[in-house]
Amino acid sequence: MQYEQIVLRYGDLTMKGRNRNRFEKRMIDQVRRALAGFDGISYFKAYGRLYVKLNGQPYEPVADRLKDLFGITSLSPVISSEADLAKIQAAALELMRAIPVQPATFKVSAKRAWKGYPHTSQEMNHLVGGHVLRGLPGLKVDVRNPEVELRVDIQEEAVYLFHEVIPAAGGFPYGSNGKALLLLSGGIDSPVAGWMALRKGLELEAVHFHSYPFTSEQAKEKVVELAKRLSYFSGEPIKLHLVPFTDIQTRLAQSNNDNLIITLMRRAMLRITEELAARSGAGGIVTGESLGQVASQTLPSMNVIGRSAELPLLKPLIMMDKQEIIDIAMRIGTYDTSILPYEDCCTLFLPKSPTTNPNLKIVEKVESLIPDYEALLAAAADGTEAVMLSPDTATAAQAAGEDSWF
């Protein structure tokens, strides 16, 4: 079956009130950018929907790309017909015949949005349904619980027919809920948190702390790959801040507070991130923390760590189980990268018994005793390098050697 277009539905949430126009515009921009690699595709808007005209492009790869974009609740491959009864009937029969596994029951749901069309919705249900029944003996109508619901959408410009409704990623279009920084470690959780934040329409920049030579170049490349994957979902390039963390970490490791070191490290990260957020105009910090998962993610730990920052801390995974997080990581294609065995700075200097119940007063006291601590934090923020990444940014391996060798 050669589909002519794909209809995208936004869902109710984005359609309310004065924000509608803004959301719709963002949606179209986002779809356009995501489909930039496909030639000849055109777009037109209708109330609460966006039509992507394929103009000869195959349906599957386009639909596969759209399914991963946020702000779309569902999509359907559509064929169109002129607003002429015989032609609508023929198109309906053709569409039903093309279903790979023929259903036993169906119903027609016609909707006459264009009141200039001579037959009412009710009449069309019978006229189209009757024609399909005559063409496909053995098929029965079941209005309550049909296996296939054939929709006939009568608009002024054309009549659209479809039966498949494919769920999409949902959420809000990119950037429709402001901007935040994501702490991206290279583990399993933080990319999932990033994906969920993007899904809620946040514009994201990622922040990664590296402690070369205690961490390897590969650990950094892993984070680059994860950030690239996130930018596939937003359809926008993503900025990755690479913060030099070696000096701070070695200083903390020498402060003889082994059981507090994770708490101190996390606080330092938040303070540097808050400084970076101020510079890039971000209004929140997203982390991949999940309650109780590790020592730094107990409620008392989060309390003490969180007090080092004033910005809202968004923790999409906070009440999720590890397996649920892993399932999402696999679905969004970050899992295999996340489990590559390169140590990141969060697992460095890991004490035997990190505290699960740090004391804020003691933590603040320890920090105040570290010489030039403020200057160290400022130097880390100042020494931060940023790279822009998109899914087609060459990986370290893709850029290896001389191009002439390949």
Q: Are 190 and 182 in contact (CB under 8 A)?
A: yes
> Any idea what the Cα angle at residue 231 is, between residues 379 and 285, rounded to 5°?
45
The answer to whether residue 406 forms part of the interface with other proteins (CB under 8 A) is: yes
What span, in angstroms and rounded, lies between the C-alpha atoms of 267 and 305?
A: 5
Out of 17, 116, 341, 401, which residue is the one contacting other proteins (CB under 8 A)? 401
- Residue choice 60, 84, 217, 336 for contact with other proteins (CB under 8 A): 217
Length of the chain as a residue count: 406
Of 62-70, 126-134, 352-360, 394-402, which part binds other proteins (CB under 8 A)? 394-402
The DSSP string of 240-277 is EEEEE-HHHHHHHHTTS-GGGHHHHHHHHHHHHHHHHH
Quick one: how many helices (H) and strands (E) in the chain? Answer: 13, 15
398 annotated to bind ligand: no
Q: Based on the shown chain and the rule CB under 8 A, indicate whether residue 100 belongs to the binding site for other proteins.
A: no
For other proteins, the closer of residues 208 and 220 by Cβ is 220
Of 319 and 394, the one with the shorter C-beta distance to other proteins is 394
Select from 16-24, 59-67, 210-218, 300-308 the region that touches other proteins (CB under 8 A).
Answer: 210-218
Q: Which is nearer to other proteins, 186 or 194 (CB)?
A: 186
Say which residues have a Cβ less than 8 Å from residue 278's Cβ, sequence separation at least 6.
Answer: none
- Binding other proteins by CB under 8 A: which of 12, 39, 64, 402? 402
Residue 397, interface with other proteins (CB under 8 A)?
yes
Are 345 and 215 within 8 A, CB to CB? yes
Q: Is 266 labelled as part of a ligand binding site? A: yes
Residue at token pair 């993007």? 198
Nearer to other proteins, 20 or 67 (CB): 67
Is residue 297 marked as binding?
Answer: yes
Q: Does 218 bind other proteins (CB under 8 A)?
A: yes
* Residue 184 marked as a ligand binder: yes
**CA distance linking residue 382 with residue 123, whole number of Å:** 70
Q: How far apart are CA 348 and CA 89, in angstroms?
A: 68
Shortest CB 394 distance to other proteins, Å: 10
Residues that bind other proteins (CB under 8 A): 216-218, 396-402, 404-406
Residue ranges for the binding site for ATP?
183-184, 208-209, 266, 288, 297
